[in-house]
């Protein structure tokens, strides 16, 4: 039985990798350390069953920083693909901000490329991520962005996001059009960002 929805579902979903699909381990190059986030498996399998095309868009500046090899990133991606895939498209940015590339989020390059590879207009794509750069990249690409805050998320990132979901279960509800979640108001939730330093992904 299909539920009537006001809003046609997006047809593509692009996920940030670290802190969104899998638990964030900064600059991880070890496949054994890949652990799916709670709800990730159910989310991707349900979306596939609904006909969504799925992809991953990930900043991997550890490559430019000399902390990760491209092979190590590929090995971790393979592990993610085995646990949560198969994904229809994979994009990663190996650069640091100073490289001035077009792909590093919050730039929209990876989202535009991935949408093109999927044969989708960016407006039919939703980007799901855990930090401001993910949803800013979505906005810059003309895609929908949903922020799923973690302990790494800064309060101002959550406050400026157009859509915020508590967890991946809520992302599913948003994507299936079951309800619209308002952006957090001035009395928005508390995030565990006080004094935290985040390493640049
Ligand atoms: Mg992330
Ligand atoms: Zn790049």
Q: Which ligand is nearest to the CA of 64?
A: 2
Note down pLDDT in tens along the chain; length 201 residues. 444 444 454 599 999 999 999 999 999 999 999 999 999 999 999 999 999 999 999 999 999 999 999 999 999 999 999 999 999 999 999 999 999 999 999 999 999 999 999 999 999 999 999 999 999 999 999 999 999 999 999 999 999 999 999 999 999 999 998 644 455 544 444 454 444 567 788
Burial of 107 (0-12, 13-18, 19+ CB in 10 A): buried
Distance between Cα 1 and ligand 1 center (Å): 35
Give CA–CA dist 45/142, Å, rounded: 26
Count of CB atoms situated within 10 Å of the CB of 191: 19
Distance between Cα 178 and ligand 1 center (Å): 25
Give CA–CA dist 37/40, Å, rounded: 5
Global confidence as pTM: 0.86
Distance between Cα 180 and ligand 1 center (Å): 23
Q: Map out the domains of the chain with their CATH numbers.
A: 12-175 (3.40.50.1000)
Distance between Cα 141 and ligand 1 center (Å): 18
Q: Which ligand is nearest to the CA of 113?
A: 2
> Which positions are annotated as active-site residues?
16, 18
Tell me the per-residue pLDDT of 67-91, one tens digit each, with 9 for 90 and over.
999 999 999 999 999 999 999 999 9
């Amino acid at each position: 039985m299909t539920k009537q929805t006001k809003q046609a579902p997006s047809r593509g979903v692009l996920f940030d990798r670290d802190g969104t699909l899998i638990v964030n381990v900064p600059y991880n190059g070890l496949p054994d350390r890949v652990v799916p986030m709670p709800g990730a498996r159910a989310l991707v399998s349900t979306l596939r069953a609904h006909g969504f095309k799925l992809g991953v868009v990930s900043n991997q500046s550890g490559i430019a920083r000399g902390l990760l090899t491209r092979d190590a990133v590929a090995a971790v991606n393979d592990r993610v693909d085995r646990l949560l895939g198969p994904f229809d498209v994979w994009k990663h940015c190996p650069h640091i901000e100073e490289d001035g590339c077009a792909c590093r989020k919050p730039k929209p390059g990876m989202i535009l490329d991935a949408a093109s590879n999927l044969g989708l207009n960016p407006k039919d794509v939703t980007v799901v991520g855990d930090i401001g750069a993910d949803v800013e990249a979505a906005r810059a690409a003309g895609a929908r962005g949903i922020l799923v805050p973690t302990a790494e998320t800064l309060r101002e990132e959550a406050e400026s996001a157009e859509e915020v979901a508590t967890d991946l279960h809520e992302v599913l509800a948003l994507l299936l059009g079951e309800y619209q979640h308002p952006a957090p108001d001035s009395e928005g939730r508390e995030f565990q960002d006080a004094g935290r330093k985040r390493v640049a992904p």
